[in-house]
Amino acid sequence: MTAQHPRLVADRYELKALPMPGGMGLVWEGYDTRLDRPVAIKQIRADKAHSSAQRAELISRFRREAKVTAKIEHPGVPAVYDAAIDKPDDSPDGVAELYLVMQLVRGEDLRDVLAQHSALPVAWAVSVAAQVCSVLSYAHAVPVVHRDLKPSNIMIDTDGWVKVLDFGVAAVLGTDVTQITDTGRMVGTREYMAPEQFLGVGVSPRSDLYALGCVLHEMLAGKKVFDGSSDPALQHVHEDPVPLRVLRPEVPQALERIVLELLAKAPEDRPDSAQDVHERLVPYLPVSSAGVDGPAPAGVADPTRPYRAPLAPKARPRPAAEPLVPYTPTVLDPAAAPPPAPANFSTPPFAVPRVSEEDVEEAEHHAVRLFEEERYSQAAGVLEEILDQSGSDDPLLLGLRQVYAAVLLAGGDYRRALAAFQLLAAAAGRTEGPDSEDMREYRQQIALCHAMLGEHEHALDAYRALLPGAAREEALALQEKIAALLLTLHRVREAARVLRGLLRDLDPASPEAGRVRELLTRIELTGGTGS
């Protein structure tokens, strides 16, 4: 590739500059020839996909994760413009290459800042962490778990705003949170991985909070949580971190406590959410009149500026004398009740007419076509127009509600999918009874949604409640999920007992038995109780 003849990806994007290595591929500064703008182009490494089936699965997951990531509407996440699949002419076997096309962000990544300046002023470290919390709160509401939060994925742009990079990239190469992973496969960076990631089981929003604790510790202490003197897996799973005030006495005690809670071994011992962490960081955020505790790192935009001067113009900052209110992002809770209707709103004095069978059939066919094209948001919208017109027990709409729940689940909208399956289960309980086949299916999907949302205790209870009355194959699958969730919750002894019992019941030559043996071996290697 030369400057005169830049390579063109997907007949649209020029790869302008030499690529920079990334954790999971190469990153180019590129150019969008249609919209006349600079872009960042990240090539996703597909070298683990050795067969055509694996490549097809990777492409499918790539498309799905790009769509879900694009739903994170926050200025701290570079916008996803395109998910391009390209087959270069010089590829010997015509294997497709995968590219994420994103907003180009200019600035310094936190890894380079820490390499040059070691420990940061407290106001700087807290300002970076608080901005990351704001991003995570929006991502986790989608829900999207980053899985690989680390300094090189955190950038401070030229105005001091923090950008979190590579959402969805780890998920493209990972596995679902309710499945035991492939042999030896872990997604993440070892210095910042939560204990449950080393055990190879489900990640959750609290896994991202653990990684945030590692990053905040490093910003304040000038060194990583663990020094690498032994295996990182053993250290993260079993060793306690050195308290910050031992390394840097001027760190406020309450701030040290926040970091220690973020670094708790068991997910349920960490803060409940990124919103909670942000609220606890607020007292340490700078205000307009606040100075910086210590010399500010040179050559890096000040990350305290968004708090000292929120939304200030570039060319003419606000006068220092003008009082400023520190910026606190508004976070929408998808589980919260809708706002009350305006006082002047009144219900029409007539009943909404029942939809016709023709309307239902047309909506279902339209939604299924959109579903097959992976246009999940549009499919859900088509169905909502009909479903909003009738009650939950209307038998005419049962099939439509089932399709609606499946569309939400496939599109990664787990919060609304959970509500949809709960509605179906409630209706089935009234019309079919608690032990019907439909009811068990709805309960399975409810448990899955809880797990995907990081609500692992709820998922565990839901799966355990399905064991009575389960056929043999279903019971074995449920026990595998239960073991994975127990490991996610750091209940290692209990998980090992379930896995050993499961191994006795499985065909030794089956893939399931192989996964269980691998997981027990991993528990032993990390000092657990697998033997």
Catalytic residues: 148
* Distance from C-alpha of 189 to C-alpha of 296, rounded to nearest angstrom: 28
Confirm if 518 and 512 have CB atoms less than 8 A apart.
Answer: no
Q: How far is CA 432 from CA 435, 437, 445, 446, 495, in A?
A: 8, 9, 18, 18, 35
Confirm if 401 and 364 have CB atoms less than 8 A apart.
Answer: no
Check the CA dihedral 509-512-514-517 and report its sign: negative
Contacts 24+ apart (CB under 8 A), 45-49: 45/173, 46/95, 46/96, 46/97, 46/98, 48/173
Coil/strand/helix, residue 44: strand
Q: How far is CA 123 from CA 86, 154, 297, 300, in A?
A: 44, 17, 12, 14
* Distance from C-alpha of 304 to C-alpha of 281, rounded to nearest angstrom: 13
In order, the DSSP letters of 503-528 are HHHS-TTSHHHHHHHHHHHHHHHTT-
Confirm if 291 and 111 have CB atoms less than 8 A apart.
Answer: no
Cα angle value 58/60/65 (rounded, 5°): 90
The strand pairing partners of 163, in sequence order, are 155
Kindly provide the b/e burial profile for residues 195-216, where b requires at least 16 CB atoms within 10 angstroms of the residue's own CB. bbbbbbbbbbbbbbbbbbbbbb
Confirm if 519 and 499 have CB atoms less than 8 A apart.
Answer: yes
* Distance from C-alpha of 237 to C-alpha of 193, rounded to nearest angstrom: 10
Q: Which of 23, 22, 4 is nearest to 14 (CA)?
A: 4
Q: How far is CA 389 from CA 320, 354, 363, 394, 417, in A?
A: 55, 7, 13, 10, 19
